[in-house]
Amino acid sequence: MTPSLKVVVAITSPIAFHQLKSQTILHTCLQSAGNFVASVSGAHLAIAGTAADLAKVAEIACEKIVCDPNKPGELATAIKSATAADLIMIHDSQRPLTQQGQFERVYVALTGDIDAVRPTSPFTETLKSINADNFIEQTIDRTSMMRISTPELIRYSAIDFSSDSSTWFVPLTHSARTAVVEADPDSGRINSEKEIDLMGYLLDRNK
């Protein structure tokens, strides 16, 4: 029997409601996530966000999960109280150009011996550490770092509902077995309003 899947778009910043070309960043993310949901039998779409944020998307017909998605423990608790699913896929609302191929790579990588999967890419920039006087102390080895993208796919049974912190969207149990897949360059995160125009250009290029 195929495990049931819930794809959750997490509203992680007010920037999600800014316009990206003809629609908001959030709606662009929801469109991508919705297209993936339509390709997986029995999957359904949900949106996670604060009550105030969810009120802005009340017209969208899907499950709403009230919480602060930036708090792993709170998101996990909200998922526990929401409609049940065997697999929880969480996608950041700030990554509007994530392509279907990335959703699919994450999904197929969750094999029988893996409990959680997310996309990553190498860190290529030069990164310096500085002291309190803004003096450069050292160059950080870039091979010791990686860029994290979304969606993250996690077995419900691998979520640690007793924990509050995590480097994933939700806390994982100590026994959880994780894996990574390649992230596309276009799946970058919009972190400021100044980056919206660049994403718009990339969106046009991908059409």
pLDDT in tens, 120-157: 987 666 667 788 878 888 776 656 568 899 999 999 99
The full set of domains in the chain, from first to last, is: 5-120+147-206 (3.90.550.10)
Predicted TM-score of the model (pTM): 0.89
Q: Are strands 5-10 and 87-92 parallel, antiparallel or unpaired?
A: parallel
Does the pLDDT value for residue 160 go beyond 90?
yes
At 204 the pLDDT is 63
DSSP per position, 13-34: SGGGGSEETTEEHHHHHHHHHH
At 121 the pLDDT is 86
10 Å CB burial of residue 119 (0-12, 13-18, 19+) is buried
Does the pLDDT value for residue 205 go beyond 90?
no
In the beta sheet, which residues pair with residue 146?
122
Computed from CA positions of residues 117, 82, 66, 93, in that sequence, does the dihedral angle turn out positive or negative? Answer: positive
